[in-house]
C-alpha cells in the first residue's frame, strides 16, 4: 500500500512582498497569503487527508489550519519542517546583503553548497533535517494520506533529494510558489514517485507570484 504525501508551501507574508530574507523570522500570512491557502484548501477538498503536519512557524501553521477546514484533525508541528535560518541576513533584502557582505549573494546564487551565513543554517543541514522529518512522518503513517505545510527552501531541497540532485542545483529546478502543491507517493519499499512539483494552477493569476529565489534575481522569498 502506498503512502501519499501532499506538501504545501505556506502562503505569502509581508516580507515576501518586500523581498526580505525571512528564514527563521516568525511572521504570519498576509491577506493575499490567506487567500492563497484558501485556494489550496479548495483544491484539496476531495482529498481524504488522514493526518496533518506543519512547521511550527506561523506562516506554515496558519496555512495548514486553513487547508484543514472542517476536518476533525489536529495540525501537528515538527521542528524538522522549519525553514532555513538565514542568520545575519534576516530582515535584509538582496541589495542590503550585498552591501554588508560583498560577494555572498553571488555565492548564494551560484554555489549554494559553499555558503555559510553568519548565525544561519547551511543548505546541506536543512536538506538533512527535512529529509529526516519526511521519513519520520512517513514511517509513522504508512498507507495514509499525509498533508505537510512547510517552506520553499526545505521543500525544494527535499524534492531534489528524491530526484538525486545535488544542493548546487538548487536554482536550476522549478521554484515552489506560495501555496503550491508538491505531491509524492511512497511505496512499501521506500521508492518515491513525484506526481506534482509546485502545482499552483488552482491559484488565480492575480494571486500567483513567481519565486524570487532564482540565481541572478532577488533571493529573499523563503
Catalytic residues: 10, 83
Joined together, the cell numbers standing for residue 100 give 554588508
Give the number of other Cβ atoms within 10 Å of residue 15's Cβ: 21
- Inter-CA distances, 206 with 65, 66, 149, 190, 203, Å: 23, 20, 22, 39, 8
d(CA 118, CA 36): 33
Q: How far apart are CA 137 and CA 173, in angstroms?
A: 25
Count of residues in the chain: 222
Residues 221, 93 contacting (CB under 8 angstroms)? no
Residues 6 or more apart whose CB falls under 8 angstroms from that of 102 comprise: none
How do strand 75-77 and strand 181-186 relate by DSSP bridges?
unpaired
Amino acid at each position: 500500500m502506498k503512502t501519499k504525501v501532499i506538501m504545501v508551501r505556506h502562503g505569502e507574508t509581508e516580507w515576501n512582498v518586500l523581498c526580505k530574507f525571512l528564514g527563521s523570522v516568525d511572521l504570519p500570512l498576509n491577506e493575499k497569503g490567506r487567500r492563497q491557502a484558501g485556494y489550496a484548501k479548495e483544491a484539496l477538498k476531495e482529498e481524504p487527508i488522514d493526518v496533518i503536519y506543519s512547521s511550527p512557524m506561523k506562516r506554515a501553521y496558519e496555512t495548514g489550519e486553513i487547508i484543514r477546514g472542517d476536518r476533525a484533525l489536529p495540525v501537528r508541528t515538527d521542528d524538522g519542517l522549519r525553514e532555513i535560518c538565514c542568520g545575519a541576513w534576516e530582515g535584509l533584502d538582496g541589495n542590503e546583503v550585498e552591501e554588508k557582505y560583498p560577494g555572498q549573494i553571488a555565492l548564494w546564487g551560484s554555489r549554494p553548497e559553499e555558503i555559510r551565513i553568519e548565525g544561519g543554517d547551511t543548505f546541506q543541514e536543512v536538506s538533512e533535517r527535512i529529509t529526516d522529518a519526511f521519513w519520520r512522518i512517513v514511517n509513522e503513517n504508512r498507507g495514509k494520506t499525509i498533508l505537510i505545510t512547510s517552506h520553499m527552501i526545505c521543500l525544494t531541497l527535499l524534492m531534489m533529494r528524491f530526484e538525486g540532485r545535488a544542493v548546487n542545483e538548487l536554482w536550476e529546478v522549478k521554484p515552489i510558489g506560495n501555496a503550491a502543491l508538491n505531491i509524492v507517493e511512497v511505496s512499501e519499499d521506500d521508492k518515491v514517485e513525484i506526481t506534482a512539483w509546485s502545482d499552483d494552477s488552482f491559484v488565480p493569476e492575480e494571486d500567483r507570484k513567481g519565486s524570487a529565489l532564482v540565481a541572478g534575481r532577488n533571493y529573499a522569498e523563503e
